[in-house]
Structure 1
């Protein structure tokens, strides 16, 4: 039947399904206009109108992910928690629907050894190890009712799939059970419902269908606040049509998902199908998270006491770094459990470098390594933050955390995604764009690093000097989310390249992502002789938060700050969005903990209380973050100009202190120091004064200030000087970085 459907041969369709196939084909034909009344809808699809057979739709995934991943303070356990959730979402759940050859998106890129390992994990006849056997043990018959074509998407930590109506509750329970049984402590939720065939095209319908509120009802109730909240103010047929489609079904499931996640009862299922339970006896030894009882001492560096849940994270984390394979000896003290198929992010990155897209970066990335035939076989993963910090040129001991998230995803889905096929295509495009943008950014700005001058690890007692590593850590890349750790001196370069590549890859996939009414974005950075506005061409973008901190900064604290920075950047992106435009703006916010040792409150409150000063009839902001991507490029060029000009480093900090004394005092002192530089100060004039500090009403300059606007009778001024000082030690001069010229040559040949 599948072959007949694909070829269009009607004779190959069984008689029992012929009538239903004809109804579906009729439903897929686009009518000349949207039906204005339920009666017109019935006239368009008389047979489908009478169809009572329902189709199941299931939506589910992990919840409170950050609480599970970052509950431990140790990087190996954080890495393992993230990898375990990725495995469940990308391998386990899709495997419910068929063999890995048809359900795992990365199957074609795997080598034969990895394919065999993945097949064993999915098809092992023992329920303790094989996914198919596990599903058959707990939900007999469910696997035979599912096929790969039912999956709409399974990326970004969630799965959305069709399902035979009779198996909806079982599939939702299986999703929740799999997360709980594998992680023991991670929260998960899944919901499902059944819908009519006609609803897949025209959204939620009442029973009987003729009672469904339609355009005439919308006209009568347009002033109702609830109607305006759902359809928008003064909604017309266009807004109604954009709502009445498959997207409305997904929204219905999302509401059910939130309802169930909050612990509310479900008439057909218990509030928690498989809740995790752990005792909290006060007089026992705790594991490293200080939350659960430890059950054994692990034969790992430091000999930690671990609970079963934490031990699983540690095992998967070590496998993700290719430090171990299979169930190792130290894990024998813990209950039997199969970690399954865990693929290293470095392996995926190495495959990218071997592909046609990554070939342009390959020689550059491996140029300092002698083994050119198979370099990824001799270069390993960074085992700790100390090793990543060792690759930070000029600022050893510092690393950067980058957290990026997509902009306008919800708005785009609501307006543009109307069919299951569109959902599937959109999910695949965004997931691929996110992953490849990360690889492009890492390959363009980093290269394999040889560890040097690193003190022996007190826990492991191992000497790692002389080893070659990939100097980065990918904690998660899923959907439109990215969380990576990189050397501090390339943090902003990597973040901006990721944001740019994300949009470019999406635009190369389909013209549908291009903005129909681009609008212009006003840039504070105005290169000499250019306009301060730039057109925005993509409807989707990504915003990033970057935290530069010491290698010994607690990861949970760094994660919270990076998350705040990303939210700040996303808020700024919404603020910059042009009116009446369908485009979005890539933005970036950053913070260096070299100058700020600790922030007790939020970053927003810290900036308002410590970096905003009222002086007479104007307000001074001693910061300018967040920035657009174009402005970040300008900021980096300005730091380089500051170094080239030979501006006295001692005066950088003195100049920063003058900012608090008022606008005129700071301007006078800046001009004094810059004038003393003589001809050496020309790069600073061109890269700072003429590009950032132009006056709004005349041809003069206001260094180091920029006029932000007016609030009532008060004028607001901001400055990038604070950010220049913070970045001074983390930015290299282009002439000193040989990779810049080499990359330009490679890109020119490409």
Structure 2
């Protein structure tokens, strides 16, 4: 409740500030009056008389009961006459980086990818909030934050005079997910949009960005767009709800049973659409138009395009994208670099506290990104561990360094690493149905960013410990160092991309999914309505032990790729992205069919780069399927992935011969009956662990749905057309067998 009051107060200040400023570039009141108003609203003091009526209008707007929605446009005008007659517009700006993966992963080396991500993080979490004189307390803090804010505000004043005076921290709704949404005085809408685009271009040179802004009346903040000539409202909608154009905007006029919706259902659909979310949707449409190259008003399609020299005979940089302008001979690989690539490499070194920056100083570029302005995820993780020390046992000895390469992370994972890519489920649908006010947008953004970041940190701290690895310097000198054995590529909004030792990847992914839901559940705002909870959990294929029900309406799906440390990062990123899409598809299907709101995980273990030449879906369909047999069972729910890991531990404890594991995997392709007979043969020959395997594998996974027999190693499933097929977890067990290990809680000596 306290958080909600705080968000309401901030939006009150934001809207009152815009109204008090007015429609012109110069404030209609003395700036001191606006500042006094802001201070009074913050502290609960006396509002200056000049702006008291404006503040009262904002509070009237915020106190509107949406359960008493006006039935006609005339009723809306009469009921809220003061708000309707308020003609001062309020600006709203939406923007951010686009084609992010293209920018981040165009380089092949981890240091350059790390730097590209760090630059975008700095713009999202430091630079743009600094436009408003604000620093996001939930973001990783750079050193000398106040100095950063001062320099960025100076840049803003040089580039867009007077814009800085019109912006205050309360105007910013969110900026943590790679996009920014903010109010501003109406006259500065284009300036703020241009400032966002210009900042991305000036700092990165090559990252794409887009920002758009529109102005709205005060009443539209609560009731959505009101500028239609026909005064289209509920009464008009009920008469025209079957019109195809109306259906495309407000949703179909028939329910799931193909019956025409009742008047109340249609009314609810209209109300669900007509709120602040409609303004954001309008901006999103304008954003996509501008992103596609369309001009709007006086703004050119690309206000600040980067300009690079082109020539057919110039040496290209390492990314093979742009002409190289120098060779960094001070670095071990002596790379050829363009200025764009040099900035990425520099930011990557600063993020990892690498002091070897002489190569950049020698070139004499006028662009500098000092250490103080680069957010550091590892330092933020360390602060999290210190704060949560009573809940987790991650020990950070003095002089614990950060991993500088995939090879160092791979040393902690038997030469293999795990890529984990997480993304939220049900986010768009939840926003459309439940987020109706600016206050709720601000709260939702903070909740999701906190759940995403803290769940990732918690999972890393629970399953990993600082590890000793062998490091080779660029001069060829060998040393043993203690490192955090992971790399955080990006955390933003509801997305996470991290690299961890392979033998911990699945456990970390499972914990991220579970902790994400747990954190949101604790907020008390995302509970699943009892009518939408699944009654029958038979869709869970792992039936051993109690099945924990989903408690949060929102969850996350994850893709996990286990691969060799020398696998090209751009290739690994594409594969793990495909696995994430597969996991999200599974989550959507389970939600539609069974009401499951929890997370899902899809994974692939790839021990050589040449194993997979096509996409994951085609590989499974063509290489791992035969008739009605599927030799894999991925994707899994979070509950099922825990069961899969448990079976691997049981097989290891039973000393199940590895040769027989592989032999049985091969024999599965000979047919259902052959697979069952050979599994029985191998299992009964075991000296130890037969009962454990029967309990954790046969009884938990392979029970038939219609009788008391035994299908091991097969399970029965139904496809989208309700046709029966048989699948098995055996191949998945074999794939992860080497990458499921016992947890350790002390610093470890990695394998050479």
- TM score, norm. by length of structure 1: 0.89
Separation in structure 1 between the aligned mates of residue 183 and residue 231 of structure 2, nearest angstrom = 24
Q: CA deviation at 1:535?
A: 2.9
Shift in CA distance, 516/199, structure 1 to aligned 2, threshold 3 Å: farther
| 2:101 paired with 1:88 | no
1:359 Cα offset (Å): 3.5
Give a deviation string over 1:305-348, Cα, whole Å, max 9, x none. Answer: 111000000000001101139x6453330421121411321111
The answer to whether 1:469 aligns with 2:483 is yes
Matches within 5 A, 1:636-655: 636-655=645-664
Name the CA distance, whole Å, in 1 between partners of 2:398 and 2:448.
Answer: 30
* Contact 1:694 1:706 (C-alpha < 8 Å) held by counterparts: yes
Could you tell me how far apart the structure 2 residues matched to 1:206 and 1:438 are? 44
2:691 corresponding residue in structure 1: 682
The secondary structure found in structure 2 opposite 1:80 is: helix
| Counterparts in 2 of 1:83 and 1:376: CA distance versus 1, 3 Å | farther
For the structure 1 residues 334 and 306, does the alpha-carbon distance in structure 2 shift closer, same or farther, using more than 3 Å as the test?
A: farther
Q: Is it true that 1:119 corresponds to 2:146 in the alignment?
A: yes
Match of 1:731 among 718, 721, 740: 740
CA distance in 2, matches of 1:376, 1:484: 22
Which residue of 1 is the match for residue 105 of structure 2? Answer: 70
CA distance in 2, matches of 1:331, 1:63: 30
**Distance in 2 (alpha carbons) for counterparts of 1:344 and 1:534:** 35
Within the alignment, does 1:145 sit opposite 2:159 as a pair?
A: no
The aligned counterpart of 1:748 is: none
Q: Give 2:75's aligned residue.
A: 40
Deviation at residue 5 of structure 1 after TM alignment: 2.3
Tell me which of 180, 201, 210 is aligned to 2:201. 180
What is the rounded CA distance, in whole Å, between the counterparts of 2:152 and 2:548 in structure 1? 51
Could you tell me which of 132, 135, 139 is aligned with 1:97? Answer: 132
Q: CA deviation at 1:207?
A: 5.4
Q: Cα deviations across residues 480-530 of structure 1 (Å, max 9, x unaligned)?
A: 0000000000000000000111111111123344445342254444444x5
Shift of 1:684: 1.1
Change (3 A) 1:516 1:38: farther
Q: CA deviation at 1:228?
A: 2.1
**What does residue 241 of structure 1 align with?**
271
| Matches for 1:627-642 after TM superposition, within 5 Å | 627-642=636-651
Asked whether the equivalents of residues 350 and 376 of structure 1 are also in contact (C-alpha less than 8 Å), the reply is no
Q: TM-score, normalising length from structure 2?
A: 0.89
**Long gaps (5+) in structure 1:** 124-129, 367-374, 741-750
**Aligned length, in residue pairs:** 693
Matched residue, 1:161: 182
Determine if contact 2:346/2:360 at 8 Å carries over to the other structure. Answer: no
| Alignment partner, residue 722 of structure 1 | 731
CA distance in 1, matches of 2:428, 2:503: 34
Q: Which residue of 1 aligns with 2:262?
A: none
The CA deviation string for residues 547-566 of structure 1, in whole angstroms up to 9 with x for no partner, is 00000000000000000000
1:27 has 2:61 as partner: yes
1:673 pairs with 2:682 = yes
**1:284 aligns with one of 310, 314, 326:** 314
Matched residue, 1:691:
700
Structure 2 unmatched ranges of 5 or more = 1-36, 254-264, 747-752
Q: Is the 8 A contact 1:507 1:514 kept in 2?
A: no
The 2-side partners of 1:81 and 1:515 are apart by 41
| Corresponding position: 1:216 with 2:230 | no
Task: Give per-residue Cα distances to partners, 1:605-648, cap 9 Å, x unaligned.
Answer: 1100001101xxxx000010000000000000011111122221
**CA shift for structure 1 position 731:** 1.1
**Deviation sequence 1:670-701 (CA, Å, 0-9, x none):** 00110111453221111110000001111111
- Residue in structure 1 matching 2:50, options 3, 16, 24: 16
Establish whether residue 435 from structure 1 lines up as the match of residue 453 from structure 2: yes
The answer to whether residue 40 in structure 2 is matched with residue 4 in structure 1 is yes
8 Å CA contact 2:564, 2:608 repeated in 1 = no
Alpha-carbon distance in structure 2 between the residues aligned to 1:425 and 1:384: 37
Cα deviation, residue 710, structure 1: 6.7
Shift in Å at residue 231 of structure 1?
1.8
What's the counterpart of residue 309 of structure 1? Answer: 340
Contact 1:666-1:704 at 8 Å conserved across structures: yes
Could you tell me whether the CA contact under 8 Å between 1:645 and 1:682 is conserved in 2? no
The equivalences for 1:353-432 within 5 A come to 353-355=385-387, 357-361=388-392, 364-366=393-395, 375=396, 377-392=398-413, 396-432=414-450
Cα distance in 2, alignment partners of residues 711 and 150 from structure 1: 47
SS at match of 1:623: coil
2:331/2:359 contact within 8 Å kept: no
Of structures 1 and 2, the one with the larger relative CO (CA 8 A, separation 6+) is: 2
**Cα deviations across residues 100-125 of structure 1 (Å, max 9, x unaligned)?**
xx433248x85xxx55x2222332xx
1:696-731 deviations in Å (ceiling 9; x for gaps): 111111011001137879631000011011011111
Aligned residue for 1:61, secondary structure, equals strand
Matches of 1:6 and 1:469, distance apart in 2: 44
Query: Which residues of 2 match residues 492-507 of structure 1 at below 5 A?
Result: 492-507=506-521
Aligned mates of 2:181, 2:720 — CA distance in 1 = 47
